[in-house]
Structure formats: C-alpha cells, structure tokens
Structure 1
Amino acid sequence: MSLDPVQLETFQAVVAHGTFDAAARALRVTPSAVSQRIKALEQAVGQVLVRRTRPCVPTAAGAPLVRLGGQVALLEQEALDAARGALRDHTRTRVAVVVNADSLAGWFLPALTAVPDLLVDLHTDHEAHTARLLRDGTVMAAVTTERVAVQGCRVLRLGAMRYRAVATPALHALWFADRPPAATFPVAPMVRFDRKDTLQHRFARTLTRRDVDPPTHVVPGTAGFARAIRLGLGWGLLPEAEARPDITAGRLVDLAAGHHLDVPLYWQCWRLESAALAALTAAVRAAADTALY
C-alpha cells in the first residue's frame, strides 16, 4: 500500500493548524474536502489518526505519519530548491527545532547565525521532555537529555551544561552561613523554573543525601527565574556562564564552592540525507563545542 500524498499533506495541515477549518483555509479547499481526505487516509491505514479535539492532535498511530509528512515536505523543498537554483532565487528551507530554555537563552541562538539560509521554527520545553516533540513529528531536531535515539533519528552528544547553586549575599547570611547543607537545603526558600524542573532538588540531594521539599517559588521564563534569584526570593541553579560574573562581583554567592551539577545534552535529528539538517547539525555542534563542558 502507498499513501496518497494529498491526503498526507492534508493530515499534516490539520495537525499543524489545529482544526479542520484552519487546515482548509491553509490548503484553499473546503472543510468538507479536508474531512473526506482524513477519513480516506484513516480507512487506508486502518487506524484513527487524529483526535477531533481543539486543537486536533495525532493519535499514537498518527504520530509516525506526522513525522513522515514533515520528512517528505523537507526533502521535496530541498529538491525543488536545487532544481530552481536556490542560491540564485534566495529561497530558504524551514526547519522546526525544540530546545531547552537555558540553551535557548545561552549558546544555541548564536549557532543559527552560521546557517543564514535556514528559517527556524523554535519550540522550547524542559530538556528531559524535548524528545517528545521528535516522536510526534512536531519538530525535526531537538536538544535533549535523551541519549537513546528516537526511532528514525540520529543522536550526537553535545556536551554538558554546568550549573551553580547561587543566592544573594543576604539570603546566604540568613540561611546558609555556618550551617551544614543537611540542615539548610530542606528549609531554605528555593526558586524553581516550572513543575518539570527538578534540577534544584537533584543538586540538594547530592549534598544532603536525601530528598528535600523546601518552600518553593515557581517562576517560569529564564529571565524571570534568574531575576527572582537575584532579588533574593530563594536560591536556585543558574548556568555557570550566567552565574560567574555575579559571583565574581559579589552580587551572588556560590552556595557550594567546588560543587556543580552537569546536565548532559544531546542533539537528535531526523535520519535524512538533508542538506538543511546537515548544515544545522554542524552549526549546533560547533557552538556546543565552545559553550558546553
């Protein structure tokens, strides 16, 4: 059995735009035509492929087809660019990537300056969850902590992001000065990025040898998270490159000098012979080589 390319394109549009009506507008057809194409594709596969929710989301059976549709679209675009003369017409290939927030705020964006012919749709999620978007076909590449390759992807180790536990001098004097970690970390106020963020808990466990549950502020967004620490709302982990100037200037105190938390990062991308993905991979590896440990 071969898949109908028009049906596959329509399925991609439904997932990308979230509703049958929005997909119809993007494809310049009627909603009825979109519905008929999706039903025909589901009949051909023998599985329900999309949940009719708002927004529409692929089922487990539909996820591989989302990925396939994205791969076909990428290779088709590159083939058309080559046939038409991409450099002459200044056409650009679009690539969807998911990156953890700290990498996005730090070393990742400079990598994109090395691939000016690419247009990048950036998504962000916690580094332990970014590979999920690879599995469901939303993105073509991911910065992730998962070292086992997602099906249909290749994986490369980038290095590790190093974090330091820091607090303001006032918070340090109030909670940490002259007190052992086992007595301090379970009770000192802490700042957490979101409910998925376990870095602070992991670091405290390395010093206390037990799980801790201190009073916690949840502050999403890298800028807001760092500002909450600098305002003294609580202690938290900042990337070493970001924390070092504040530690040197005395604005922040390293709570455990000589101790840090390293988070290994990997680059996973679709296993395709794609010039765009190859160029992006090379740029990401070069940036990571200079920024990560």
Structure 2
Amino acid sequence: MKTELTELPLDQVRTLLAVVDEGTFDAAAAALHVTPSAVSQRVKALEQRTGRVLLQRVKPVRATESGEVIVRFARQLARLERDARAELGMSAAGEPTRVSVAVNADSLATWFLPVLARVGKEPRLCFELRSDDETRTAALLREGLVMAAVTSSPEPVAGCSVRPLGRMRYLATASPAFAREHLGGPLRETLAVAPTLAFGRDDDLQDGFVRRLGGGDGASSERHQIPASEGFLRAVVMGLGWGLLPVTQAQPLVRSGQLVSLAPDRPYDVPLYWQQWKLDSPALAAVARAVLATAAEALETR
C-alpha cells in the first residue's frame, strides 16, 4: 500500500522534536541512539514531505514558524501516549504526570500557586512552570513549549481552547518620597515624564494606564526594567520609579504608609484567559478545573 504524502511519519516528527529540545543534530542523535546522519535524513525527509523549512540551522537549533506546528504536534502526541500508558497500567510505578504551564509573573506571585495544592492527589502531577509577561505566555504555547498558559490574549492559539478567568486588578503606586519629588502636578502630565518601572521591554502596562488618564504618548521613556514581580514591588517601595502593582500586593503597603496609591479611584484591570491544548487528557482537565476555581475566588469577575 502506497504511503500518502500527507502523512507525518512519527519517527520523523519525534526526531524534529529531539533536535529542537537538544539544540543540535549531534545531541539529538545521542538522545535517540542513532547517528547524526540519520537525524539529518529524517529532518530533511520531513521538510520535503511538508514542503516547508522546519528548522533554523543555528546554534542552538530553533524551529521555524512551520516547525513550531510540528513541535507542538509532537508534544501533544507524547502527552497522549503517556496518558494512554497510564490508563493501561504501563507507566512506571509511582511515575507522576508532568504538566508544563506558562504563567504571567504577577499571577504566579499572587493567586496561581494555590492551584497546585488544589489539584488533588489523583492524578499525580509534577508542574513545570514558566514565568513571563502575560503578553508573552501565549507565544510559549504557540511554540509548543508548554501545554497550557495564563495569558492576556483572548484569541486561541491554533489547536487550543480558551476560557476567561477574570480580571487582574492593578493600582498605580509610588513611594511617598517619590510622589513628593516627581508627582506634584496633574497626574497624566507628571506620570508621562517621571521615572517609570516596567517588567520588560514588552511591558506596556504603565503606558496603557497613562494613556487612559489622557496622556497620549504613554509613560516616560526613562524606565527601569525589573523582570520579576517581587523585585518590581521592591523597586517601587525603594522609590526607583512608579509602577502598577497587583491590588493584593499594593493594598497592605498603602495601608502601612510604605506606598501611596496615585489614583485610588482609577484601578487598571487586565483580562486573563486560560488556554490549553485540545486534548482529552485527565491531567490537563484536573489542572483546568483547579485554575478556574482558584481564579474565580482571586480575580475580579464583574
């Protein structure tokens, strides 16, 4: 029987995933217990079959946009295989199921960790959490690096389902000394020039807040990048700049006088969504239930 060209041979798919995960053809060959030549031949055959370049031949090797589709398929296939083995009693005794999730840093620092305790003991899970800005977590899902993500994007990644979680509420804050020195005039004007804090280059949270106040160009270009939620909070308290903090972090510090709320009647809400692979996986289903229940208690829903 002639093999259809539209099929994706599983040995080639798994080989592509090994190359991406290991970073080089030689390392993938060692992991698969085959020769580097065999790895190269399988990847070339898969590229010929799909009619697409699937890898960027750099160090470490990276998947192209088309390659990411194959990588995501390979990871989903591996997930289904592990679930099937578990249901058939073929898993190693006591072997837990690994679930990789991308979570924005503020959620991880505030409401997400209780999810892990809420999942329960069955099925047994090990979490692999990856932290990034909420605008970047969907990209990790798209690249096939995680199975699910807390993201600010309502547009589902290909092959994924999406459900709303609620809104993460932020307050614009600064230290009292910083506010006295930099924020003496109309807020939309002073915030546009005062030193600003940002999570990273892609973080436009502060810009969005200033524009909502009427400052058309957003926050000042004089900004410090602090890529950690706890570090960001400390930087605000220390007076390095002003920034938006999750309300659960900000309110105790405002009450204690360590911070001032710059616009207490103008909170800034960021909608969050749960995206996950469309797989009939008991592990993913258990995590999703815990995430939705915890988010309903911790996030703004009105």
User: TM-score normalised by the shorter chain: which range applies?
Assistant: over 0.9
Q: Matches of 2:22 and 2:98 in 1, distance apart?
A: 16
Match in the other structure for 2:187: 181
Match in the other structure for 1:113: 117
Deviation at 1:32, TM superposition (A): 2.1
Task: Indicate yes or no: 2:133 matched with 1:126.
Answer: yes
User: What SS does the corresponding residue of 1:113 show, helix, strand or coil?
Assistant: helix
Q: Matches of 1:238 and 1:51 in 2, distance apart?
A: 39
Q: Does the 8 A contact of 2:133 with 2:199 survive in 1?
A: no
Match in the other structure for 1:222: 229
Deviation at 1:90, TM superposition (A): 1.9
**Greater CA drift, 39-48 or 269-278:** 39-48
**Greater CA drift, 197-206 or 180-189:** 180-189
Q: Matches of 1:192 and 1:135 in 2, distance apart?
A: 24
**Greater CA drift, 42-51 or 162-171:** 42-51
**Greater CA drift, 196-205 or 186-195:** 186-195
Q: Matches of 2:113 and 2:33 in 1, distance apart?
A: 35
**Greater CA drift, 278-287 or 89-98:** 89-98
1:80-126 alpha-carbon deviations (Å, 9 max, x no partner): 0111166x922212222211111122211221123351222222222
Structure 1 gap ranges (5+): none
Cα pair distance change 1:50/1:289, threshold 3 Å: same
Q: Does the 8 A contact of 2:12 with 2:46 survive in 1?
A: yes
Q: Matches of 1:19 and 1:122 in 2, distance apart?
A: 24
Q: 1:44 aligns with which of 43, 46, 49?
A: 49
Deviation at 1:244, TM superposition (A): 0.8
Q: Matches of 1:288 and 1:144 in 2, distance apart?
A: 13
Task: Indicate yes or no: 2:29 matched with 1:30.
Answer: no
Aligned residues: 291
Task: Indicate yes or no: 2:104 matched with 1:97.
Answer: no
Q: Matches of 2:189 and 2:271 in 1, distance apart?
A: 29
Q: Matches of 2:80 and 2:213 in 1, distance apart?
A: 50
Q: Does the 8 A contact of 1:189 with 1:216 survive in 2?
A: yes
Q: Matches of 2:237 and 2:272 in 1, distance apart?
A: 26
Q: Matches of 2:286 and 2:110 in 1, distance apart?
A: 20
Deviation at 1:29, TM superposition (A): 2.4
**Greater CA drift, 32-41 or 280-289:** 32-41
Q: Where do 1:225-264 residues align within 5 Å?
A: 225-264=232-271
Q: Matches of 2:141 and 2:97 in 1, distance apart?
A: 18
Q: Does the 8 A contact of 2:189 with 2:215 survive in 1?
A: no
| Aligned residue type for 1:185 | L
Q: Does the 8 A contact of 1:81 with 1:91 survive in 2?
A: no
**Greater CA drift, 202-211 or 274-283:** 202-211
Q: Does the 8 A contact of 2:15 with 2:39 survive in 1?
A: yes
Cα pair distance change 1:20/1:85, threshold 3 Å: closer
Q: Does the 8 A contact of 2:206 with 2:218 survive in 1?
A: no
Task: Indicate yes or no: 2:48 matched with 1:18.
Answer: no
Deviation at 1:213, TM superposition (A): 4.4
TM-score, with length taken from structure 2: 0.91
Deviation at 1:166, TM superposition (A): 0.6
Q: Does the 8 A contact of 1:181 with 1:208 survive in 2?
A: no
1:239-290 alpha-carbon deviations (Å, 9 max, x no partner): 0001111001111000112111100000011111111111111111111111
Q: Matches of 2:17 and 2:231 in 1, distance apart?
A: 35
TM-score, with length taken from structure 1: 0.94
> Percent same amino acid at aligned positions?
49
Q: Matches of 2:42 and 2:79 in 1, distance apart?
A: 22
| Aligned residue type for 2:100 | A
